[in-house]
Structure 1
């Protein structure tokens, strides 16, 4: 096992192929179990999953690995990723695990770890676990093997907590809400929360079969929910991804608002209420230049990080900031959650509608975005397109052409074999020309 396992969001790959095999999951859990053992009588791990068929296989392998090191396993079943962060801390567990490939296709899967504080692991912790996998670990004595127990009310515990993040004594009465759960982990929790708060709920993507997660639905395909919003004359649409840590909003006209617009709205409202810690929003290098200009005009600072919500959270914790996220819809609010939470972010947007009486369309467009394009290019594993002279020359020429009127961001995905080519410029024709040259060079090198 010479290759690095952990990417920007845990371990991820195609199910039943390295590294996402039952054998690897067992070894990973054994190493993690040994790493998280504490000097106390009982050791606990909570394991949740989304709705992919391969989740059963990986859940069983992880359970075997953890119990072999003396860890007691609490199985939560299908729950959103943010519920793992919450319940790891609530159940006083040593470690939490989410089995999910988030927004990826159903044939992929992944394993994400959370520490006892409910936050995702640091690079150092992940490296230590990989080192244990390489060197091997000692197993528990027969009398010290762990037990496994299913927690039947895990979903209900998260539902009750999510409702507490909505303003006290406020309700969603009179609002017709389309909620698209991407046939994923929140297919029961999200509609329940909205209904219990008083909304008329129109569910989409709530019939998982193991194969249809994220398929033509959810935050990666918001057109499905947008059509339903227009058809039913709903007040708003909410689109989650497969593990419900992302969200995009659809207004009553069917227009989509991404994470940048949602963050811009929440940042402004929290700043007005004196709740925005440090007067700062933390976002990644992918966030639109229009968001940065909007925040600057409001007297709000923008701190940028590398791509990945874990890096956003690290910067938030280091700086004591309360709001951060990604353009893709990961919205992190440390007052409420330890990771991105699509449902709780949506509740903050709904709170704005309830408290101001404004329509979704009046809140979902807080700034005019600078024209931006993102192109994803698949490459063959083992190749390094970005290291070739031709690609580097195309990038340098593109940056020179854009000058101070735009920017380029070219990077490898941390979760898939993709090169992500992103550009921004006020001149759309120039942007198309620059991106075309870079894309052609990457394709030749892939």
Structure 2
């Protein structure tokens, strides 16, 4: 049996791989591991529980709450709120841990369970392994536990103040108001469908149009959100907006569009915020953190702007680990996960969008001009399926093909071969100043992968 926890909690098709029984059992295990971690005499563990609007979130939330309360944990049920809101409330309310039910940008049939440690921080592998071990022992009947009874069982309370408390937090950390900025917001029919428009309006922006703002439980990420930018891009010129924001299902990522409908990706957003924070003196250690998949144009821009860059493996958890270890304030991914560690413990799409809006308002510059701080080099990405991805770094023949490609590209391009973490495939990424060259080199390397790893 494989490991239950993936790179971002436990995910699966709801009621198939991710059942109510699994949700209940994992919650009991988490109650013991996370609740007892902060236990002291007379203390009752408290957990914050939230979800995105997926229909399956209703029964999974009930199972999670039942598991927690049966293990003696008091529950603050915050309802439909973004992942970063649940993380913030876990810390702000002094809870022992948090639970978020969401499958992020995945399609509606999927769902997931993400546990957050005290303070709203992601769990490290050691804690996830402890929860999984406890769950497996209990589910197999080989380990009994003392079930609380009477007044010792957990109590469940609706915490309706969570929405306003989170929005007030977002407004409170902005460097300036957004007065005069016209915004289009795509909430992906997800967890921030109501939060994001409210936050922008309270910050002073004029929300001229919303997309993906009518969640039914069945339409999350369906043709909207950060993985489907076309409707947002079209709306920019139609509504003559200054800034377009696209969130994903749980609103931990954000992509943007400028007044002409051009995409502004995560690399560009981080570049804009890095310059803004450097100007404000809040870019700690004068450093931004990004992954090896960030566009080479981003790296060149940071060099030109005098900002140091730390690169990590792909995944926002690795970005966050580097930021926490070295005390950096800004990091993220091209996909739109942007972490502002002074104000959030995880990626926060709404906060990212608000910070972009604040920069527009402060500089009086169009988003296109701000995004021009970096030039995206043409990037070709090919997924080569059905190969032995374990030999990517050991194949002598493949290494020779990569060396030949790198020599051809010189200092104006780069090559990255990366095995997928979840699928039997290898990702071939090539960047070059000339798009024709980038495609040619990528196709040649993809064929080399098929030949030598097939």
TM-score when normalising by structure 2: 0.90
Distance 1:26 1:266, change over 3 A: same
Offset of 1:410 from its aligned partner? 1.9
Q: Give the corresponding residue for 1:39.
A: 40
Distance, in Å, in 2 between the alignment partners of 1:329 and 1:288 is 13
1:340 aligns with 2:342: no
1:318 equivalenced with 2:325 (yes/no) = yes
Structure 1 counterpart of 2:20, from 13, 19, 22: 22
Q: TM-score, normalised by structure 1?
A: 0.92
| Cα distance between partner residues in 1 of 2:218 and 2:400 | 43
When the two structures are aligned, how many residues end up with a matched partner?
437
State the distance in 2 between where 1:435 and 1:259 align.
23
- Shift of the 48–441 alpha-carbon distance from structure 1 to 2, 3 Å rule, reads farther
Task: Report the equivalent of 2:95.
Answer: 93
User: Is 1:359 the counterpart of 2:360 in the alignment?
Assistant: no
Matched, 1:186 2:187: no
Deviation at 1:442, TM superposition (A): 7.0
Distance in structure 1 (CA, Å) of the matches to 2:212 and 2:385: 27
Query: Which of the residues 388, 396, 401 maps onto 2:399?
Result: 396
For 1:221 and 1:183, locate their aligned partners in 2 and report how far apart those are by CA, in whole Å.
12
Match of 1:272 among 276, 279, 289: 279
Aligned mate of 1:258, from 257, 265, 268: 265
Aligned to 2:245: 238
Partner of 1:13: 12
The within-5 A match list for 1:373-412 is: 373-376=380-383, 385-387=388-390, 395-396=398-399, 398-404=401-407, 405=409, 406-412=414-420
Equivalent residues of 1:79, 1:155 under 8 A apart: yes
For residue 148 of structure 2, the aligned residue among 141, 145, 149 is 141
Contact 2:186/2:246 (8 A) holds in 1: yes
SS in 2 for 1:74: strand
Coordinate RMSD, CA, aligned: 2.3
Gaps of 5+ in 1: none
SS in 2 for 1:268: helix
Match of residue 199, structure 1, among 197, 205, 216: 205
**More displaced stretch, 128-137 vs 334-343:** 128-137
Compute the displacement of 1:344 (Å). Answer: 0.9
Is contact 1:67–1:146 with CA below 8 Å preserved after alignment? yes
Cα distance in 2 between the residues matched to 1:139 and 1:375: 53
Distance 2:221 2:276 in 1: 31
Deviations 1:337-395 (A, max 9, x none): 0000111111111111111111111112321122212345677xxxx741368995785
- Please give the per-residue CA displacement for 1:257-286, whole angstroms capped at 9, x wherever unaligned: 101001111111211222110111011111
Does the residue aligned with 2:344 lie in a helix, a strand or coil? coil
Cα distance, 1:59 vs structure 2: 0.7
Does the aligned pair in 2 maintain the 1:391–1:438 contact within 8 Å?
no
2:392–2:417 Cα contact (<8 Å) kept: no
For the 8 Å contact 1:214–1:242, the answer to whether it is kept is yes
User: Compared with structure 1, are the counterparts of its residues 109 and 397 closer, same or farther at alpha carbon in structure 2 (3 Å cutoff)?
Assistant: farther
CA deviation vs aligned residue, 1:10-49 (integer Å, no higher than 9, x gap)? 111222222x111111111111110012224211111111
- Poorly superposed stretches of 4+, deviation over 6 Å: 388-391, 441-446
8 A Cα contact 2:401 2:448, kept in partner: no
Residue in structure 2 matched with residue 155 of structure 1 by the alignment? 163
Question: Do the aligned partners of residues 198 and 299 (structure 1) sit closer, same or farther apart at CA in structure 2, a change above 3 Å counting?
Answer: closer
On the 8 A contact 1:385/1:442 being kept in 2, the answer is: no
Distance 2:161 2:392 in 1: 56
